[in-house]
Amino acid sequence: MSNPSKIIYTFTDEAPALATYSLLPIVEAFAASADIAVETSDISLAGRILASFAEHLDADKRVQDDLAKLAVLATTPEANIIKLPNISASVPQLKGAIAELQAQGYNIPDFPEDPQTEAELQARARYSKILGSAVNPVLREGNSDRRAPAAVKAFARKHPHSMGEWSMASQSHADYMRGGDFFSSEQSITMDKAGDVRIEFVDKNGKVEVKKQLALQEGEVFDSMFMSCKKLREFFEATLQDCKETGVMWSLHVKATMMKVSHPIVFGHAVSVYYKGAFDKHAALFAELGVNPNNGISSVYDKIKSLPASLQEEILHDIHACYSDRPEMAMVDSVKGITNLHIPSDVIVDASMPAMIRSSGQMWGKDGKLKDTKAVMPESTYARIYQEMINFCKTNGAFDPTTMGTVPNVGLMAQKAEEYGSHDKTFEATVDGTMRVVLADGTVLMQHEVEAGDIWRACQTKDAAIRDWVKLAVTRARQSNTPTIFWLDPERAHDLQLQKKVEAYLQEYDLSGLDIRLMGYNEAIRISMERLIRGQDTISVTGNVLRDYLTDLFPIMELGTSAKMLSIVPLMAGGGMYETGAGGSAPKHVQQLIEENHLRWDSLGEFLALAVSLEETGIKTDNPRAKLLGKTLDAATGKLLDNNKSPSRKTGELDNRGSHFYLALYWAQELAAQTEDSVLQAHFSPLAKTLADNEATIIAELSAVQGSPVDIAGYYRSSPELTSKVMRPSPTFNAAIASLH
Amino acid sequence: MSNPSKIIYTFTDEAPALATYSLLPIVEAFAASADIAVETSDISLAGRILASFAEHLDADKRVQDDLAKLAVLATTPEANIIKLPNISASVPQLKGAIAELQAQGYNIPDFPEDPQTEAELQARARYSKILGSAVNPVLREGNSDRRAPAAVKAFARKHPHSMGEWSMASQSHADYMRGGDFFSSEQSITMDKAGDVRIEFVDKNGKVEVKKQLALQEGEVFDSMFMSCKKLREFFEATLQDCKETGVMWSLHVKATMMKVSHPIVFGHAVSVYYKGAFDKHAALFAELGVNPNNGISSVYDKIKSLPASLQEEILHDIHACYSDRPEMAMVDSVKGITNLHIPSDVIVDASMPAMIRSSGQMWGKDGKLKDTKAVMPESTYARIYQEMINFCKTNGAFDPTTMGTVPNVGLMAQKAEEYGSHDKTFEATVDGTMRVVLADGTVLMQHEVEAGDIWRACQTKDAAIRDWVKLAVTRARQSNTPTIFWLDPERAHDLQLQKKVEAYLQEYDLSGLDIRLMGYNEAIRISMERLIRGQDTISVTGNVLRDYLTDLFPIMELGTSAKMLSIVPLMAGGGMYETGAGGSAPKHVQQLIEENHLRWDSLGEFLALAVSLEETGIKTDNPRAKLLGKTLDAATGKLLDNNKSPSRKTGELDNRGSHFYLALYWAQELAAQTEDSVLQAHFSPLAKTLADNEATIIAELSAVQGSPVDIAGYYRSSPELTSKVMRPSPTFNAAIASLH
């Protein structure tokens, strides 16, 4: 090896940061045996604040801008980044962190609520860049590679989650539009050279309004499509009538979060159709009050609070009267009376449909009972896969986590690929006319006749992102030696453009021995499911929306949760980012540590990400020891799951630190037991023995400290010395790890 | 052409024979224009009787053995046989024919009921060969090629039959065993050389009983399989419990006719499980009475008639009591109280399932209403295709005959291929033991451990039949220029043997430009259905059972009936047989002719068969005029359907003869209108003009004769002179046809 390899381990916030104090020394010690350095990169909220105000600080208190460095690293082939969950700071969180840092002697400005001076304006500008999701956009420069790690899969097989039984007589189904939706109107082009385009609306008098201008790259795929408001409302009415006739419960499943402009409008039409009686009767008043059905029926309740009591009562009565004309609706919370149409973000299709399918195809009724349900998903593009799975479960019964295979995903998302909900290219027509996409020279590339209320949207997918996605799929197919399916629907305009590219770019690779196929969505999911129930694995290679849907759908069937999936972003420049844990950074865990010296954070995500990071290092730098470390770490993680050595929630029982001890023990044992590399075997055998011999002592030392409060001198930026002491309380364990060096 | 081509037009019985008197002169006249001779071959019941007793007859009354000649012809490449429906004689019919022939002066012996003398024994032996299905086994020396002719398809598109709507909330489904059935136990071998095998049963004491000896050919595929009696009964009980819980009606669908040994036993278990209460309580009495549940619950009613009234009442009460414990059962005739379990041949899967699917997935309940139904089909091998179609209809709605494509079939059936129900290789185990297939040298080829009650069966498929089937599939794919799917399930032992052969034999053909694929049943039917609803055609190439099922299933969706399908048996020696009409030979039609001089027989099947026969003649003898005759005949048939010139059932309206006139008119017009062949154009233009000009006259002449009785001097063998006169009553029409020569 020319250069010793380097893994960047991000230092973040709250529980993951605390756990890092315990885990990182172990990781460093093990990684060193394969000549791999593990460096931390401080992208914590506090770290980012300090880096933003470096010139305000004394020289000894200055910190580097690690995020900026990481952003540069992410564009190099050497990037190997383990990305732990970090705080997406709200304003209160940011102010809390500022106050703490100031108290620690860092001379940073207050957060200017109402900036006036030049200094305040500058401070506000800097703090704005730190707020919210400020890390991921900088680092996610690649497509998505998600899979269930072997250890997690083995655990689910041995300790299966519950799965509701399916009846062949189930009435549940997914219903979707058979015309008039985005699917049926989609047009798609590929730019043969770079060029500027305008999105225009032309009204019936020929007046042209430019809605948006975009510079498209050569090879970029550009789509446009619309959903007919009239057809959508007719469809909703028909589904309601059908449920009324068949006695099946009605439910709506959209993705108002991801499709953040189009789906709230779709949701709003469902609200105003379901509660048509009340909306029609009070149309003028609702308009005056600014009632927006897109915000859910709950917003009506909010808006009418200003009205006289008698009028409020009348409106509430009219809303409730709708329930007698309409079929029963699925509930989000039947105890609290929260319906499916309460607020638009409660029922999110990628989570709600797997939950329904896991629960025998049923959802909760208003009486708190599970019932057969019509799952209404207006847009047919992706809804069909759920109907396919429902039919499959009716025929074959519920999936069996103890025997089923797995469906990993390679998803197109780099450079904002296929962001169908992208707010800046979605428009709701206010009058009848034509929406069109026009080249700078006036050539009309695509156009749709729209009516008032129709939802028109466009979407970009860059060629470089597609090329990288194909490469990633081939790499994953090769590395997993697993049949691989590109989900490309021959009836979708967009997918036909992609198909041409995929077929061309696949030619650039050695595909010998690989089973890579292109299929429509229905066929793809069906074959994947047929293989699943026979214990066989199939890689799904999909666009951005299916990436999002499938990385919940299959994991929830296979593992009971999508949080245990490996989430890798192989960066387009050649590096890799390994994301851990979907559960956030867990403020409650920090509180428990400080008050009772027990950290319940589960580092499973870190173990899994690290194993892949090591494996990738091994492959990229031709370092067999790195691969071996990865493989044995996976085995150790499996053993840890198997022996139930994950942290307990209860103080006094095994916590995060004890779990790390067992990981080290099992990892050392795996390395001592393997015979591929005798040097590593010899290196780790003494540690394996020491840890095993001292298991009782170490566990006692780790348990002894629990139960009393500790002081780590900070929440957003605790004292490294104090925190390290708290997180490494076993001298026996620390000495054993130290002996590795 | 070296030889003028020859088409054999079979002369059969009853209505088809009467119609032949009218149609044949037209056919002869048209065919002559392409240098094709049309010869009749008398395979009527009367003809076969006379041929069998030639030496009893005076020289002037002797007839040739046309069937024997046809049997020889069928083994030559020149065979081109149009096979009309004939009488499969029962004993009463045979005796009726004998009496009629004797009265006509034919000196043939009586049918000896109780033969004693040498002469009587000989006569009985000869008559036995004439009884029953005596024609088809001699002539069907090939595989099956069935499709909806273009004209029929066009008619169905324009005049669609009714199709029940499907609800996405339908609870109907097909249920089948998930183990313990023939599918899961199937074993299959291919003989690497010819050899004798024994089917043996070995009991627990090692005693060997030879059940059957067979001489197998080189390359022959031999299967064995069994159905567990215990698992079958558990399955029936589970389906009944499930229906009881879900409120879905219960129904059983078997094929007791084709699977003539195994399926009656399966049916019997359904009866004794459904009526378990009564069968358990009266077990001893039922055994004494010889009650056999395989004959249906109706047989219990028959058997108990000999008992004292009070005991009869008790048993009936106990049978009726079962209905309260069991779910509602589908009815064959709710008015008459005939249930699904009444007799084993009432509900035959290949007819009952398409009917259910056409009726919104519902069957008739005891209250005479259509209801959602569990269709129980224990053997999973083929049942899965129905569940696939049910799921498809739930998702996509009922098929639309006006827009749907077509699924023709190429079916393996030559040389008794895949006769799974073949009675001589099916055994019901009476005690526990081993069923095995053993080579002459003692090598055990296949074996199954069976328990008392298990149904074991074997099945042969000859290599020559498979080779011919592959050839036929390639020919059909080429001639129809249509995507073609071999339905071969990769999870079936038998199909894996076939798959190897198919892949090898396909290599022998030029497949350029053809789309021929091999797929499992579920995938095959799914893709065929996806194409169907998009108006696309897909050829299904299947084994014998699926041939039987699919040539009802798809035609019933597409055409409303399977009777309008073209049914071709391309003979293995290279000739062709074209079967017409699935409706039998229709004795009631003859009665109407004799009493009212109106023949309602529809010669559509003959028109269709003749067109293919002409087309095949054209291809085989390189005779473009024959092809043109075929093509124009098809067009004429289409026009005839379109103009509603099929025979009416009512005396006084257009009948069979009038329909033939219109066929001649349209056929001549098509030939006069075409420009491919100017000689034929010139030849038929005068006829087209004459027939069109004289339409009113001819129709008047044809109508004038109707309403009075006629005498044709015989039923089984009418007078040719009298019959011809009755069947050709229009001098104008006759003269026009005569002018062609």
Interface test with B, best of A165, A171, A521 (most B CBs within 10 A): A171
CB-based contact A173 B173, cutoff 8 Å = no
Amino acid at site B23: L
- Contact at 8 Å (CB) between B729 and B701? yes
Q: What is the pLDDT of residue B422?
A: 66
pLDDT of residue B202: 97
Q: Are A196 and A445 in contact (CB under 8 A)?
A: no
Return the residue of B nearest to A376 by Cα: B168
Nearest to A376 by CA among A509, A283, A523, A263: A263
- Which chain B residues are within 8 Å of A167, Cβ to Cβ? 242, 245-246
- Is A14 within 8 Å of A28 (Cβ atoms)? no
Q: Report CB contact under 8 Å: A169, B242.
A: yes
Contact criterion met (CB below 8 Å) for A34 and A626:
yes
User: Beta-carbon neighbour count of residue B688 at 10 Å?
Assistant: 21
Considering only the beta carbons, identify the residue of A374, A395, A523 that sits closest to B169. A374
| Joined tokens for residue B302 | 């028959």
Distance from CA of B594 to the nearest CA of A (A): 54
Q: Which residues of A touch B527 (CB under 8 A)?
A: 523
Kindly report, residue by residue over A174-233, the tens digit of the pLDDT.
999 999 999 999 999 999 999 999 999 999 999 999 999 999 999 999 999 999 999 999
> What pLDDT is stored for residue A421 in this prediction?
65
Instruction: Pick from B165, B167, B168, B371 the residue to mutate for testing the A interface (most A CBs within 10 Å).
Output: B168
Residue A194, SS3 per DSSP: coil
CA-based nearest distance B246→chain A, Å: 7
Phi-psi region at B329: left, alpha or beta (left = phi > 0; alpha = psi -120 to 50): beta
According to DSSP, residue A375 is labeled E
**CA A315, A319, A322 angle in degrees (round to 5)?**
145
- Within B326-368, where are the H helices? 349-358
pLDDT tens digits along A47-74: 999 999 999 998 888 999 999 999 999 9
- The shortest CB-CB distance from B169 to any of A248, A522, A527 is to A248
Give the residue from chain A lying closest to B373, CA to CA: A169
Residues from chain A contacting residue B245 (CB–CB below 8 Å): 167
Question: Taking CB atoms and an 8 Å limit, are A173 and B171 in contact across chains?
Answer: no
Confidence of residue A85 (pLDDT cuts 50, 70, 90): confident
* Element spanning A83, H or E: strand A80-83
Do the Cβ atoms of A368 and A244 come closer than 8 Å?
no
d(CA A136, CA B427): 69
> Lowest-pLDDT range, A37-46, A421-430, B466-475?
A421-430
Percent of chain A with pLDDT over 70: 98
Q: Of B28, B23, B27, B21, give the one whose Cα is nearest residue B44.
A: B21
- Residue in B167, B173, B523 closest to A169 by CB: B173
CB-based contact B242 A170, cutoff 8 Å: no
- Please indicate whether residue B325 or residue A346 has the higher confidence score (pLDDT): B325
The tens digit of pLDDT for each residue in A489-508 reads: 999 999 999 999 999 999 99
Digit-coded pLDDT (tens) for A222-279? 999 999 999 999 999 999 999 999 999 999 999 876 677 888 899 999 999 999 999 9
Segment holding A516, helix H or strand E: strand A516-519
- With a cut of 90, say whether residue A577 has pLDDT above it: yes
Contact B171 A175 (CB under 8 A): no
Average model confidence (pLDDT) across chain B: 94
Q: How far apart are the C-alpha atoms of B720 and B712, rounded to whole Å?
A: 8
Counting one residue from chain A and one from chain B, the pairs whose CB atoms sit within 8 A come to 53
Backbone region of residue B219 per phi and psi (left: phi > 0; alpha: psi in -120 to 50; beta: other values): left
Q: What share of chain A is helix, strand, coil (3-state, %, to 5)?
A: 50, 15, 35
**Dihedral angle computed from the Cα positions of residues B56, B58, B61 and B65, in that order, rounded to the nearest 10 degrees:** 40
Find chain B residues with C-beta within 8 A of A395's C-beta.
173, 387, 391
Inter-chain CB proximity B394 and A173 less than 8 Å: yes
Mean pLDDT value of segment A29-49: 96
Contacts of B59 by beta carbon, 8 Å cutoff, 6+ apart: none
Q: Which residues of A touch B (CB under 8 A)?
A: 167-171, 173, 175, 242-243, 245-248, 372, 374, 387, 391, 394-395, 522-523, 526-527, 530
Inter-residue contact B486 to B410 (CB < 8 Å) = no
Strand partners for B40: B9
In whole angstroms, give the CA distance from residue B292 to residue B701. 59
Label each residue of B164-232 as H, E or C.
Answer: CCCCCCCCCEEECCCCCCHHHHCEEEECCCCEEEEEEEEECCCCEEEEEEEEECCCCEEEEEEECHHHH
| pLDDT, position B1 | 37
Q: What interhelical angle do B262-274 and B229-246 show, nearest 10?
A: 50
Residues in chain A with CB shorter than 8 Å from the CB of B394 are 173, 391
User: B168–A173: do the CB atoms touch at under 8 Å?
Assistant: yes
Do residues B195 and B439 touch, judged by C-beta distance below 8 A?
yes
The answer to whether B180 and B396 are in contact (CB under 8 A) is: no
Evaluate whether A204 touches A433 at the Cβ level (below 8 Å): yes
CA A161-A165-A167 angle, 5° bins: 165
> What are the tens digits of pLDDT across the range B668-713?
999 999 999 999 999 999 999 999 999 999 999 999 999 999 999 9
Q: Which residue from A minimizes the CA distance to B244?
A: A169
Q: Which two tokens stand for residue B329?
A: 């059962």
Neighboring chain B residues of A327 at a CB cutoff of 8 Å: none
Do A373 and A379 contact (CB within 8 A), yes or no? Answer: no
Closest A-chain CA to B397: A178
Instruction: Please report the pLDDT score of residue B389 as a whole number.
Output: 98
Q: pLDDT by residue (tens digit) across B82-124?
A: 999 888 787 778 999 999 999 999 999 999 988 999 999 999 9
Give A173 to chain B, closest Cα distance, Å: 7
Q: Which helix (H) or strand (E) holds A252?
A: strand A249-252
**In the numeric block, which tokens belong to residue B408?**
């023709």
A391 → closest Cβ in B175, B242, B391 = B391
Strand pairing class (B566-570; B576-579): antiparallel
d(CA B126, CA B48): 10
Let me know: does A392 contact A526? Beta carbons within 8 Å.
Answer: yes
Q: Are B468 and B143 in contact (CB under 8 A)?
A: yes
Rounded Cα distance between B524 and B528, Å, is 6
Q: In what order do the strands lie in the sheet with B455-461?
A: B187-190, B221-227, B455-461, B426-428
Give dist(CA A575, CA A616) in Å, integer.
Answer: 9
CB B656 within 8 A of CB B603: yes
- Among the partner-chain residues A167, A168, A246, the one whose CB lies closest to the CB of B169 is A246
Please state, in angstroms and as integers, the Cα–Cα distance from residue B310 to each residue in A339, B75, B322, B370, following that order: 62, 63, 19, 36
pLDDT, one tens digit per residue, over B163-187 is: 999 999 999 999 999 999 999 999 9
The candidate with the shortest Cα–Cα distance to A192, out of A222, A223, A224, is: A222
Residue A104 parent element (H or E): none
Closest CA to A545 of A386, A360, A376: A386
Instruction: Compute CA A133 distance to the chain's CA centroid, rounded to the nearest angstrom.
Output: 13
Residue with tokens 């009802």: B552
- Report residue A351's pLDDT band, with 50, 70 and 90 as the boundaries: confident
Q: Rounded CA gap, A325 and A316, in Å? A: 15
Provide the greatest CA pair distance for chain B: 86
Q: How confident is the model at residue B419 (pLDDT cuts 50, 70, 90)?
A: confident
Task: Calculate how close chain A gets to B447, using CA atoms only, in Å.
Answer: 26
Q: How far is CA B546 from the centre of its chain?
A: 12
A2 has pLDDT over 60: no
Query: Which of A169, A175, A522 is nearest residue B168 as measured by Cβ atoms?
Result: A175
Amino acid identity, residue A356? M
User: How close B169 gets to chain A, by Cα (Å)?
Assistant: 4
| Chain A residues within 8 A of B170 when measuring between CB atoms | 171
| Residue B640, CB-side half-sphere exposure with 13 Å CA sphere | 34
Distance CA(A471)–CA(A505), nearest Å, equals 8
Higher pLDDT, B92 or B266: B266
pLDDT digits (tens, 9 = 90+) for A265-318: 999 999 999 999 999 999 999 999 999 999 899 989 989 999 999 999 999 999
Please answer yes or no on whether A168 and B374 come within 8 Å at the CB atom: yes
B599 and B657 in contact (C-beta within 8 Å)? yes
Instruction: Show residues of chain B in contact with A175, CB under 8 Å.
Output: 168
**Nearest to B613, CA basis, from B581, B658, B575:** B575
Range from A211-220, A527-536, B139-148 carrying the lowest mean pLDDT:
B139-148
A394 vs B contacts (CB less than 8 Å): 173, 391
Q: Looking at chain B, which residue has its C-alpha nearest residue A384?
A: B395
Q: Which residue of A has its CA nearest to B169?
A: A171
Nearest residue to B722 via CA among B731, B711, B733: B711
Contact B395 A173 (CB under 8 A): yes
Q: Judging by beta carbons within 10 Å of its beta carbon (0-12, 13-18, 19+), is residue B146 exposed, middle or buried?
A: buried
Q: Give the distance, in angstroms, between the CA of residue A604 and the centroid of all CA atoms in the same chain.
A: 17
User: Sign of dihedral through CA atoms A630, A634, A639, A641?
Assistant: positive
Question: Shortest Cα distance from B351 to chain A (angstroms)?
Answer: 22
Residue A169 to residue B395, Cβ atoms within 8 A = no
- Give contacts of B169 with chain A, Cβ < 8 Å: 171, 173, 242-243, 246-248, 372, 374
Contacts A243 to B, Cβ<8 Å? 169
How far apart (Å, rounded) are the C-alpha atoms in residues B664 and B730? 13
In angstroms, the separation between the Cα of residue B409 and the nearest Cα of chain A is 23
Report pLDDT digits (tens) over B551-570.
999 999 999 888 788 899 99
Burial class (CB in 10 A: 0-12, 13-18, 19+), A46: buried
Under the banding of pLDDT at 50, 70 and 90, the label for residue B2 is very low
Chain B residues within 8 A of A179 when measuring between CB atoms? none
pLDDT of B613 > 90? The answer is yes
Triad B385, B391, B392: Cα angle to 5°: 85
Q: What is the pLDDT of residue B176?
A: 98
Cα maximum dimension of chain A = 87
Q: Shortest Cα distance from A178 to chain B (angstroms)?
A: 9
Residue of B nearest to A244 (CA): B169
* Contact assessment for residue B584 and residue B89, using Cβ atoms and an 8 Å cutoff: no
- Is the pLDDT at B134 greater than 80? The verdict is no
